[in-house]
Structure formats: C-alpha cells, structure tokens
Amino acid sequence: MKITFLNPPFLKRFSRSQRSPAVTKSGTLYFPMWLAYAAALAENRGYQIDFIDAPASSIDLENSIDRIEKYLPELLVVETSTPSIYNDVKVCERVKEVIPEVIILLVGTHVSALPEESLKLSGAINAVAVGEYDETIIELAEAILKKRGLETVKGICYREGGKIQCNEKRGFIQDLDTIPFVSTIYKRFLKIEHYFNPNALYPMVTITASRGCPFGCTFCVYPQTLMGRKFRFRSIENVVNELEYIVENFPKAKAVFFEDDTLTVHKQRCIQLSEEIIKRGIRINWTANARVGLDLEVMKKMKAAGCRLLCVGFESGSQWILDEMKKAVQLDEMFTFIHNAKKAGLLIHGCFMVGFPGETKKTMEETLALAKQLKPDTVQFYPLMVYPGTEAYRWYQEKGLITVSDYSKWITPEGLHNTVIKTENLSSEDLVKFCDYARRSFYLAPRYLLYKTKQSVTNYDEFKRNLKSAKTFMKYLFFGSNIDKSHYKYTNREND
C-alpha cells in the first residue's frame, strides 16, 4: 500500500511546521518534522511512502498534483496550519479531482483543535487526526488495506453518511524509541540546505529527543494540541545513535537543532546526554530550546558536549504578566541563568513577547529593558500569536479581542505574521509598532553592532550564520513590519 505525505504548496518558504506558521523575517524554514516522523514510522511498518515538502523545494501546485497522480497513493496525509488551512483544503480538492478514490487525512495543530470545523470546509477531506498522529496513520492505513470502517480508527474525526463522527481519543506514544530516526526521511526525500534557523549553524538537521512539555504556558501550541503536557523522552542511547547517523550521513551538516519544547526539563538527563556524546567522541555543534533555571554545572557539561546556543523564552519584563501567562519563572532567575550561560560559554537567543492580558506601554518598555540588561546573543520581539486549541486563544476569543475571523488573515499577503489580537489597553498596531521599535533599539545599539562585528570576524561559521539571517532581516529592521508604510518613531506616552 502506498502513502504520500504532503507538506502542501502555498507561499514560497512558508514554514508550516513551526509553532507560529509563516514566512519569517529571518528566512527561517523549519523541517516538516512531525510529518517526517510519521512517515518514518509508516515506512518502518511496511508501507511504501513518498514525501513532498513543497514550500521548501519550490514545488508548485501542478507539479505536486502530477507527482501524486503518478505515485497513485491510497492514502494522502496532508499537514496543515491555521494560516494555510483554506489553501490546503483547496489542494486536497485538486487531488480528489485526479484521484477520486484516495483517502485524505489532514494532520496538525489546527485540525487537532478544530476537527469538526475543519471537516466541514470540504467534502474532499475524509478525516482529520486529533493529537499525536503517528500511530493514527498506521491504524488508518490498516483499516483501508483490510477494508474496515473508519469507526475502528482511534484519534480521528471523519465524515459518514453526511454526518461527522469523532472516535475515541488516542493515547500518547510512551516508548518513543519505537519511532525510527526522522533523519532517515530527511536523507531520502529532503535537502538540508533548504532549511534554515538563525539560531543554529548552517546547514543543520532538526530532531527531537522528547515530546510533550510539563509546564503550563497558556500560549504554547504543541503541548495543548499535539503532544500533551506529559514529558516523554527517547532513551539516551537512541538519541545519540541518531547523532552518529547524522554525522555519518550528512557530511555538510554543521549543527543539530533539538526542537523539543524544552530539552532541559530534567537536569540529570541533560548531563547523561552530554556525557554519552562526549564518550562516543561525536563532534557536531548543537542547539536546543531551554527554560530559565538550568544551572551552571549542566551548562558546562552541555557546552563540553558541543552545545553552542540555547533558545530561551524570557517572554516579559513584568513579573505580573509572567505569572498571568503561567510561565512559572521569576525575573531574578533570568539574570542568574544568563550569567551562568555566559560563564559556560553558551550563546543565548532570547524570545520576548508583548500583548498579554494586562499589557501596557509601561510593561512593554520593561520587557525591552530586560532584554538590554540580559544582553543575549540575539533576540526576537513579537506580538503574541494565539492559535485555536490554546488557553490564550480561548481567553482572547471570549473577550472579543481577536480582530479577525478569517484564518488566512493570521498572515499578511506576503506570508509574514499578522497580529490578530489587541488587548484591553493596546491596539494591534501598537503591538507591532513596539516590536519594530524594540528590534531597532536592541540590534542597532553601538554595543551590539560592535559585538556582532567581532563575532563575525573571529568565527567564519558565525559569520555565515549572521550574514544569511541578515539578508532578509535587515529590511524589516530598518523599515518595520509593514515595509511599504512610512517610517515611524515609537514613543512611550500612555495615550499617544
């Protein structure tokens, strides 16, 4: 039986599989990681597969349809997202025109949160997967192969006799070692040079060592729609085996990006992972998502094992707002963390958001002040992006603070993030203007420009990373998010 896994055509370099899907200002393009994990498992279970990442490979609609038609899959698995949902449904309708008998399954965060609404968009969609979908695809394929009804498949909603039925939810995979290396799919079907994350040396390979996140942040979409709040992890041996596979099979790779929600949940596990990397003599840089709270001992061990940079969500300079978003972090912990990171020789990419309930221009200025005091290697400032299925989305929806109802408006016509919320005190434009102002204030400071010049001169890999990111980022830095509009100056008057 044949299965095609499709990251469908849309805008060029549209990063569908990132937490906030869009075309990014820095040129970031994520690997279609969750889709690739599911493909690896399907192939491991004996199914023939094809894998198409259209946005990365610049494959347009007609070429995608042509490839699918020639392959003639019995099951088409289509990744979707909130901003691209309407486009993705139209792609499915085109596929149905040429292969009417194919079963089409939509997967991803959006359809997990809104399964019935998604099914109602088109009769071309046979089913949607709710939550973690690797095993759901296997069970659906078996049902198709053995001509069993869709009611036997856990974790899907489907259309039957004009009505929508939702089956029993599927439990999470507990033994993640049963899923083959995602990098085997990258090797067969993708070119790692197509993907970029400014937080990792280029080119890089993205994997995960765990799934789920035990923390309660109201805005984070993966734990609330796909992977759950329980932290599940691969064995250390399994993870390091994949690192060896990457080093051997991707000679051009300069780095590995651990895209776990939080790789550093367990201190002892981080130490064990680092020690095993060192023991085997694996030499490749790596980057990971982390939380404030990691101590110096762990950081030093990670650095010795090749860790180069940590991506950290500091989010806000207001303790009250941090508490409201359920971040479970204290401001003083941030300074201890950044001090230890610099002492260990680790770079830090700091993430800062504005637009949470209760936000004011004063609290936004506190966030910018925090970023300048912490002095991470790089930063991002962005308005809060809310997605269906998250606690933050429900709150803004209930308060009438989501400004659009058309999901395609979650991005601009060019594909950039569009701010779809306002707060009790601030308009969408206020939030965007502040983030543009904050970026300029941070990145154009003489101290920072001197620091980046020295870094680029003394390290060629860092120079290449900085240059690649700057090629697209600089125009937004100087002209703001709406680059066709006049330049403006942000002021800190409460009622301007």
340 pLDDT above the threshold of 80: yes
Of the chain, the percentage scoring pLDDT greater than 70 comes to 94
Mean pLDDT of 403-421: 96
DSSP symbols for 293-336: T--HHHHHHHHHTTEEEEEEEEE-S-HHHHHHTT----HHHHHH
Mean pLDDT of 398-402: 97
Q: What is the pLDDT of residue 173?
A: 98
103 pLDDT above the threshold of 60: yes
Mean pLDDT of 80-104: 98
Same domain as 149, residue 213: no
Same domain as 226, residue 162: no
Asked whether residue 188 is assigned to any structural domain, the reply reads no
Asked whether residue 391 is assigned to any structural domain, the reply reads no
Pairing mode, if any, of strands 307-315 and 285-290? Answer: parallel
* Residue reference for tokens 């100056």: 489
Is residue 475 very low, low, confident or very high in pLDDT (cuts 50, 70, 90)?
A: low
- Number of domains composing the chain: 2
The tens digit of pLDDT for each residue in 172-184 reads 999 999 999 999 9
Same domain as 117, residue 201: no
Cα gap 179→166, rounded to integer Å:
26
Three-state DSSP class for residue 208: coil
Same domain as 229, residue 97: no
Mean pLDDT of 115-130: 97
Cα gap 227→223, rounded to integer Å:
5
The tens digit of pLDDT for each residue in 8-18 reads 999 999 999 99
Three-state DSSP class for residue 111: helix
Host domain of residue 66: 2-166
**Two tokens at 115?**
């399964």
Same domain as 250, residue 128: no
**Mean pLDDT, the chain, integer:** 93
Contact 423, 359 (CB under 8 A): yes
The tens digit of pLDDT for each residue in 298-320 reads 999 999 999 999 999 999 999 99
The tens digit of pLDDT for each residue in 132-155 reads 999 999 999 999 999 999 999 999
47 pLDDT above the threshold of 70: yes
**CB half-sphere exposure, 181, CA atoms < 13 A:** 18
Asked whether residue 171 is assigned to any structural domain, the reply reads no
Of the chain, the percentage scoring pLDDT greater than 90 comes to 88
- C-alpha distances in Å from residue 279, one per residue of 153, 247, 283, 300, 346: 43, 15, 11, 15, 21
Same domain as 366, residue 266: yes
Cα gap 284→301, rounded to integer Å:
15
465 pLDDT above the threshold of 70: no
Cα gap 217→324, rounded to integer Å:
9
Asked whether residue 292 is assigned to any structural domain, the reply reads yes
Asked whether residue 365 is assigned to any structural domain, the reply reads yes
Omega into 115 within 30° of 0, i.e. cis? Answer: no
Same domain as 456, residue 344: yes
Asked whether residue 459 is assigned to any structural domain, the reply reads yes
* Residue reference for tokens 């194919």: 102
Length of the chain: 496
Is residue 160 very low, low, confident or very high in pLDDT (cuts 50, 70, 90)?
A: confident
* Residue reference for tokens 């904050």: 438
Contact 319, 330 (CB under 8 A): yes
Nearest to 215 by CA among 228, 229, 234, 198: 229
Same domain as 154, residue 14: yes
Cα gap 280→282, rounded to integer Å:
6
**Two tokens at 410?**
């979650």
Say which CATH number the domain at 76 has: 3.40.50.2300
Same domain as 202, residue 89: no
Say which CATH number the domain at 284 has: 3.20.20.70
Q: What value, to the nearest 5°, has the Cα angle with vertex 109 and ends 94 and 4?
A: 40
Out of 149, 166, 183, a domain closes at 166
Out of 148, 166, 184, a domain closes at 166
Higher pLDDT, 448 or 348: 348
Cα gap 323→357, rounded to integer Å:
11
Contact 157, 116 (CB under 8 A): yes
Asked whether residue 186 is assigned to any structural domain, the reply reads no
Cα gap 89→98, rounded to integer Å:
15
Same domain as 81, residue 132: yes
44, with CB counted inside 10 A (0-12, 13-18, 19+), is: middle
Q: pTM for the whole thing?
A: 0.93
406 pLDDT above the threshold of 70: yes
Same domain as 114, residue 214: no
Higher pLDDT, 24 or 242: 242
Same domain as 276, residue 338: yes
Asked whether residue 185 is assigned to any structural domain, the reply reads no
Q: What is the pLDDT of residue 325?
A: 97
